Structure 1
Amino acid sequence: MKESGLAWTAMSVDDATGTLRDIRNDITNFTFATPRGVQDVTGIDKSAIERLLLLADMSTNWNGVFNDGSNASHDVFKSVPSTSVAREFSLTVSGQTLGTTPQAMLILTDYALTRAQTGELTWTVPGALANGVVPTWTSA
């Protein structure tokens, strides 16, 4: 059934202590990708490309509004520049969840804050797969 991307039921990320925090209210938009590598194995006997699927990967980019309340997005991301911990995450929409056990973990590589000319204070946090666990969608 076709659906919109409205009303996510989970968008949680570990803080530096390993506690999963629901920060849906602070996230305004995001992207994530779960690509697979490919290897060209085309022999000279072929007239079209022949490929093999390789390793799975994941990347994400979360964007949101600055919120320094307890257990909100700033609490979750403020340690990104000073710690090297892989983060658990959970994305759920329409009963479909990405980020379940065994848990694919992300390395968060930046916590960039932007103060726009009009006064908005927003952040961007990119992440990449950390632990070699294939990101897998599951149904609730």
Structure 2
Amino acid sequence: MKNDVTNLEFATPRAVQDVTGIDKSAMERLLLLADFSVTLNGVFNDATDQSHDVFKTVPSTSVARTTTLVVSGQTLTNECLYTDYPLTRADDGALTWAVPGVLSDGTVPSWS
């Protein structure tokens, strides 16, 4: 399906909790849980578009999908819930999609 994706954005944020006491002049924080989010963008083409077969069930199913990103030989694999399958038709006729996903299984995102 990677040939159907034209660009993507992903993040691996950590939550933080402020724990600053009244005796401090600067912030103190603890790192909390890790997370992962991704938005995949692509061009719709139902003649050859494998991504449409994957994402068309987003509104009607609740399944996690394995999402693997490979950058310069480094791999980041996460189980994701995709939350929407919006299609946009531009005034030039292009039909595109942007599918957001979030971490589903509580596994800390780790590059390998």
Band of TM-score, shorter chain: over 0.9
User: In the alignment, what sits opposite 2:111?
Assistant: 137
For residues 13-49 of structure 1, give each alpha carbon's deviation from its aligned partner in whole angstroms, at most 9, with x where no partner exists.
xxxxxxxxxx121111110000000000000111110
Q: 1:55 aligns with which of 33, 41, 44?
A: 33
User: In the alignment, what sits opposite 2:99?
Assistant: 125
Kindly state the Cα deviation for residue 137 of structure 1 after the two structures are TM-superposed: 0.6
User: In the alignment, what sits opposite 1:111?
Assistant: 85
Percent sequence identity over aligned pairs: 67
Q: State the alpha-carbon separation in 2 of the partners of residues 69 and 55 from structure 1.
A: 41
For residues 89-108 of structure 1, give each alpha carbon's deviation from its aligned partner in whole angstroms, at most 9, with x where no partner exists.
11102100000xxxx31110
Structure 2 SS opposite 1:83: coil
CA contact (8 A) 1:28 1:65 kept: yes
CA contact (8 A) 2:4 2:49 kept: no
Q: Which structure has the highest strand share of the two? A: 2
Q: State the alpha-carbon separation in 2 of the partners of residues 70 and 76 from structure 1.
A: 12
Number of matched pairs: 112
User: In the alignment, what sits opposite 1:97?
Assistant: 75
Can you give the 5+ residue segments of structure 1 that lack an aligned partner in the other structure?
1-22
| TM-score (normalizing by structure 1) | 0.76
Q: 1:86 aligns with which of 52, 64, 76?
A: 64
| TM-score (normalizing by structure 2) | 0.95
Structure 2 SS opposite 1:76: helix
Structure 2 counterpart of 1:134, which letter? V
CA contact (8 A) 1:66 1:121 kept: yes
Q: 2:22 aligns with which of 35, 44, 58?
A: 44
Can you give the 5+ residue segments of structure 2 that lack an aligned partner in the other structure?
none
Moved over 4 A (4+): none
Alpha-carbon RMSD across the aligned residues, in angstroms, is 1.2
